[in-house]
Amino acid sequence: MDYRAAGVDVEEGRAFVKRIRRLVEGTFRPGVIGGIGGFGGCFQLPQGYQEPVLVSGTDGVGTKLKIAHAVNRHDTVGVDLVAMCVNDVLTSGAEPLFFLDYIATGKLDQEQLTQVVTGIAHGCTQAGCALLGGETAEMPGFYQAGEYDLAGFCVGIVEKSQMLDGSQVEIGDVAIALPSTGVHSNGLSLVRKIIATQGYSWDTTPEIFAGKTLAEVFLTPTQIYVKPVLAARRAGLTIHGMAHITGGGLPENLPRALAPGQAIQLDTASLPHPDLFTWLAHVGDVSATDMYNTFNMGIGFVLFVPQAQTSSTINYFNSQNLAAFAIGEVIPGNGEITGIPDSF
């Protein structure tokens, strides 16, 4: 008996690392010390900070991976993995510096996992952070054949005086929404339940989605907001707070960006109604309340800005080819959110 007979091929793992080396090194940015293959990734903090604060975030992709496995498409979920981490770190005003990944599988499939790492590298490039290292674990008997799981970890940096923690948000601030590219990486268990119970397959092409299959629609990667939002701050726009709209939707994530004694009044009429979410609600017979408590409903990121800067903020993001629109304002309260539609 040897390790290969037990289901773990060490040589295959070494060959995989060699295969992805260029993908990883292609994400390197100033500050990276050394290359891949060591016991730890090394990064030198940028100069010029008076009181640098490191901000960390970790996340996964969730059951979106079940769709990737079902249709054998693995080039987008790596972007999701990065996005879920860097968008969280961004809410503190931090610039992502580096990213680490963890990939666990029953049997290492180089072609499959190279697609995954390609997506991770693309996500890191979009966020401007280095893919500093990672871990690939081959665990026979733990995962079904052809399946894998992902986890990611990101570290960013922000000047302490520029860090956002909710205390800067003021009564009267306007909530500016940046659109999502779909469901992102949340609510996929409900999506899968709807697809399965209504008799659809992942290669179904509902007319409403303009010829795209359901797999293509729901594997659309999460939008990464890092570069345009950081550029907005550097351009002098005042941003008092940010929220990444993930699991729990607007009701759960908007209050996380507020200071004590504050609440949010949404302008119901200004909320988007993307066809994707209308279709899910109709096909799955899901109530508006459950939809808004599960999905981002077309809003992936929210900025809180002074009322006087509403137009300039919207105009700035529009000039960067990113839609932006006001959806409400901060009012006195205790973290509640009002204005959520009770029907479609």
pLDDT of amino acid 73: 97
> In the predicted model, what is the mean pLDDT of residues 151-180?
98
* pLDDT of 297: 98
Among 31-35, 111-115, 167-171, the range scoring the smallest mean pLDDT is 31-35
The C-alpha angle with vertex 89 and arms to 88 and 94, in degrees rounded to 5, equals 145
Confidence check: pLDDT of 7 > 80:
no
Q: Could you tell me which residues come within 8 angstroms of residue 48 by beta carbon, excluding any fewer than 6 positions away?
A: none
Judged against a pLDDT cut of 90, whether residue 3 lies above it is answered with no
Class of residue 343 by CB neighbours under 10 A (exposed 0-12, middle 13-18, buried 19+):
exposed
Please give the residue that has the higher pLDDT: either 12 or 129.
129
User: Could you report the per-residue pLDDT of 57-88, keeping only the tens digit for each?
Assistant: 999 999 999 999 999 999 999 999 999 999 99
Counting every residue written for the chain, the total comes to 344
Q: What is the pLDDT of residues 181-208, one digit of tens each?
A: 999 999 999 999 999 999 999 999 999 9
How many other β-carbons are positioned within 10 Å of the β-carbon of residue 36?
Answer: 18
How far apart (Å, rounded) are the C-alpha atoms in residues 230 and 233?
A: 5
pTM for the predicted model, two decimal places: 0.95
Residue 262 pLDDT grade (very low, low, confident, very high; cuts 50, 70, 90):
very high
Average pLDDT across the chain, whole number:
95
- Both tokens of 4, joined, read 């290969």
37, 173, 176 from 332: Cα distances, Å: 53, 11, 18
Which residue is listed with tokens 């010829």?
211
Distance CA 235, CA 89 (A): 20
* pLDDT for res 4: 76
Report helix, strand or coil for 250: helix
Is residue 11 exposed (0-12), middle (13-18) or buried (19+ Cβ within 10 Å)? exposed
Question: Which among 178, 338, 177, 179 is positioned nearest to 274, based on CA atoms?
Answer: 179
Q: Determine the Cα–Cα distance for residues 287 and 294; give it in Å rounded to an integer.
A: 11
List of domains in the chain: 10-160 (3.30.1330.10), 174-338 (3.90.650.10)
Task: Write the single-letter amino acid at 136.
Answer: T
- How buried is 94 (Cβ within 10 angstroms: 0-12 exposed, 13-18 middle, 19+ buried)? buried
| Residue-level pLDDT at 6 | 67
**pLDDT tens digit sequence for 271-294:** 999 999 999 999 999 999 999 999
DSSP code at position 268: G
What number is the average pLDDT over the span 327-337? 97
- Averaged pLDDT for residues 235-261: 97
Q: For residue range 28-63, list pLDDT tens digits in order.
A: 999 999 877 778 899 999 999 999 999 999 999 999
Name the phi and psi angles at 156, rounded to 5: -125, 175
DSSP secondary structure, 50-74, as one string: SSEEEEEEEEE-TTHHHHHHHHT--
**For position 2, what pLDDT does the model report?**
67
Helix (H) or strand (E) holding 153: strand 148-159
Span 307-320, mean pLDDT?
A: 96
